[in-house]
């Protein structure tokens, strides 16, 4: 602190000093303070920027709690009419595919960017990819090559923040040509690390023994008494963890069918946490400062990361980069749909149990609410999205009906590419919270865009108000837009074999 003797300073200067230091204090209090920057602080900061004083609280996910979410279908459609993907904002009808591509699609992309998921900044730094380790493994009966790959983001603009994107690419070793690849959001580890041969294990054990004897000479006698005992043993054969439907793990199914896969770690791009918004790729571009209202949220950042992963796949000759899909479940189901909607290089998506912020209609009031997405989950979205949960603000209040777009249009952005929407059943844990019906309605409406573009949507009678959701385990897999609710839980695994067959048919791939 500079030492100023106030008595010797003229009054006008004193006032000026106070004004400067108090505006400095305001700027300081908005900036992340040293020490942990919490989700609550970040949310308050954004509410301040938007002029929001209070948010409507979201419902409880506990169906027995007094403030539980609505599960009464007769109250589920308070705003029954959806924004129309095939009507321009100025009221003109979209009647040709050219009009869709040149006018309407860009209009919808702009609205989703500005109001819902946020914009990817124009100055995101470049990513440099390196293959760190290559391992030859077996997945079931399929030999594979697994590559541990790291993408280092250029942080010369703000060296305090490092972003190292991590993914694992696994390809069938005996593929006849470039393989289609399904990129899956989740932990990126070697699926089945190759072990040393028996002879090499002997060497490892001998080296261990001599090291341990150096450390404690009395161990020599112990090892002599048990000459056949091995410190490091080969892992015994392990039966695979079967899927909920008793099928083989997704990854095994994919490689057996001649597909590759990528395990893509979203957390290596952006933390799943509001306090993390001043770090990760979002924090790097913002130089450690909080977001502005139109900046990207975590979903768009994860999607951006997947797109950079696809850049790498594009230069790997073993990958059929024209047929790369993106997959995720739950919040990563949302991320998968967002990835597909914005990045048209992805050819295929498997959207698992994505709920609100994913395939389900934002306007529906069933299970998870817009107020959940503007509450604790606000950081998945653009800051601007919080306005739709505001009960008291400089602009008054807003409701889900004020959102200029809805998920029927998000699905429509994927058209005419291969889009599979997957759910399980509440009885097995794919909770009502997810609003399966709202996703079905959105897909029914998005079908019109698939048809306009010469593809096929869901083959159902009626429009989104009237179409009947098919019974569980009933395939609606004839079109490029597909729907299947399996009879398992909060996972897309029981749908994997249907997904592979469906995708293979459209891309003309045979194992």
| Interaction site with ligand GCU (CB under 6 A) | 330-331, 355-356, 368, 372, 433
Per the structure block, which two tokens stand in for 146?
């697994």
CB closer to ligand GCU, 335 vs 449: 335
CA distance 286 to 476: 44
CB closer to ligand GCU, 146 vs 381: 381
* Buried-exposed string 20-30: b where 16+ CB fall within 10 A, e elsewhere: eeeeeeeeeee
Phi, psi of 295 (to 5 degrees): -65, 160
> What angle separates helix 331-342 from helix 298-314, to the nearest 10 degrees?
60
CB of 490 to ligand GCU, least distance (A): 8
**Which positions ≥6 away from 129 have C-beta within 8 Å?**
149, 150, 151, 311, 312
CA distance 350 to 186: 14
CA distance 475 to 460: 11
- With H, G, I as helix, E, B as strand and everything else as coil, classify residue 312: helix
CB closer to ligand GCU, 165 vs 381: 381
CB closer to ligand GCU, 137 vs 327: 327
CB closer to ligand GCU, 433 vs 499: 433
* Cα dist from 246 to 2, 240, 386, 492, 500, whole Å: 72, 10, 42, 13, 17
CB of 372 to ligand GCU, least distance (A): 5
CA 305 to chain centre: 10
What is the DSSP pairing of strand 390-393 with strand 52-55? Answer: antiparallel
CB of 328 to ligand GCU, least distance (A): 9
Number of CB atoms found within 10 A of residue 234's CB: 11
CB of 366 to ligand GCU, least distance (A): 13
CB of 356 to ligand GCU, least distance (A): 6
CB closer to ligand GCU, 354 vs 384: 354
Instruction: Tell me the β-bridge partners of 483.
Output: 421, 476
* Cα dist from 131 to 99, 136, 194, 206, 312, whole Å: 42, 14, 17, 32, 10
CB of 185 to ligand GCU, least distance (A): 10
Residue among 144, 348, 190, 242 at smallest CA distance from 250: 242
CB closer to ligand GCU, 291 vs 356: 356
CB closer to ligand GCU, 253 vs 360: 360
CB of 368 to ligand GCU, least distance (A): 5
CB of 331 to ligand GCU, least distance (A): 3
CB closer to ligand GCU, 372 vs 374: 372
Prior bond to 416 cis, omega within 30? yes
CA distance 288 to 163: 13
CB of 434 to ligand GCU, least distance (A): 7
CB of 279 to ligand GCU, least distance (A): 21
CB closer to ligand GCU, 338 vs 415: 338
**Percent helix / strand / coil, the chain, rounded to 5:** 40, 20, 45
CB of 163 to ligand GCU, least distance (A): 22
What is the DSSP pairing of strand 127-139 with strand 142-153? Answer: antiparallel
CB closer to ligand GCU, 354 vs 480: 354
């Amino acid at each position: 602190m500079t030492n100023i003797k106030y008595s010797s300073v003229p009054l006008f200067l004193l006032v000026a000093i106070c004004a400067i230091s108090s505006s400095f204090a305001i700027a300081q209090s908005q900036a992340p303070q040293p020490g942990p920057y919490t989700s609550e602080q970040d949310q308050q900061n954004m509410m301040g920027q938007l002029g929001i004083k209070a948010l409507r609280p979201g419902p409880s996910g506990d169906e027995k709690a007094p403030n539980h979410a609505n599960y009464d279908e007769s109250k589920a459609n308070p705003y029954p009419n959806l924004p129309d993907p095939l009507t321009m904002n100025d009221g003109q009808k979209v009647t040709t595919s050219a009009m869709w591509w040149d006018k309407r699609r860009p209009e919808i992309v702009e609205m989703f960017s500005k109001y819902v998921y946020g914009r990817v900044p124009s100055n995101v730094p470049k990513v440099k990819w390196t293959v760190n380790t290559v391992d030859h493994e077996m997945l079931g009966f399929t030999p594979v090559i697994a590559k541990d790959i790291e993408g280092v983001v250029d942080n010369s603009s703000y060296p305090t923040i490092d972003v190292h994107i991590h993914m694992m690419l696994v390809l069938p070793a005996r593929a006849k040509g470039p393989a289609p690849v399904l990129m899956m959001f989740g932990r990126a580890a070697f699926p089945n690390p190759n072990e040393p041969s028996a002879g090499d294990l002997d060497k490892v054990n001998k080296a261990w023994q001599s090291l341990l004897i150096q450390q404690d000479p009395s161990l020599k006698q112990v090892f002599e008494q048990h000459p056949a005992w091995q410190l490091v043993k080969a892992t015994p054969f392990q039966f695979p963890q079967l899927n909920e439907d008793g099928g083989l793990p997704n990854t095994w199914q994919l490689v057996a069918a001649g597909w590759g896969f990528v395990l893509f770690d979203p957390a290596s791009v952006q933390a799943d946490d509001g306090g993390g918004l001043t770090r990760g790729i979002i924090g790097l571009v913002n130089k450690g400062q909080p977001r502005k209202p139109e900046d990207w949220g975590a979903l768009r950042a994860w999607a951006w990361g997947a797109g950079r992963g696809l850049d790498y796949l594009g230069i790997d000759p073993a990958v059929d980069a024209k047929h790369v899909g993106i997959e995720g479940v739950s919040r990563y189901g949302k991320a998968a749909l967002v990835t597909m909607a914005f990045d048209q290089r992805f050819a295929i998506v498997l959207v698992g149990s994505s709920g609100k912020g994913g395939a389900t209609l934002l306007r529906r009031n069933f299970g998870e609410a817009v107020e959940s997405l503007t509450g604790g989950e606000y950081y998945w979205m653009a800051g601007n999205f919080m306005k739709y949960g505001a009960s008291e603000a400089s602009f008054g209040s807003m409701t889900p009906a004020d959102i200029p777009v809805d998920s029927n249009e998000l699905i429509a952005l994927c058209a005419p590419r291969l889009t599979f929407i997957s759910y399980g059943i509440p009885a097995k844990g794919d909770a009502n919270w997810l609003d399966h019906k709202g996703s079905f309605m959105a897909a029914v409406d998005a079908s019109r865009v698939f048809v306009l573009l010469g593809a096929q949507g869901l083959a159902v009678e009626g429009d989104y108000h009237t179409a009947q959701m098919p019974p569980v385990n009933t395939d609606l897999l004839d079109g490029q837009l597909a729907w299947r609710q399996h009879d398992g839980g909060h996972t897309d695994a029981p749908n994997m074999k249907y997904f592979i067959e469906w995708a293979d048919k459209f891309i003309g791939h045979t194992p």
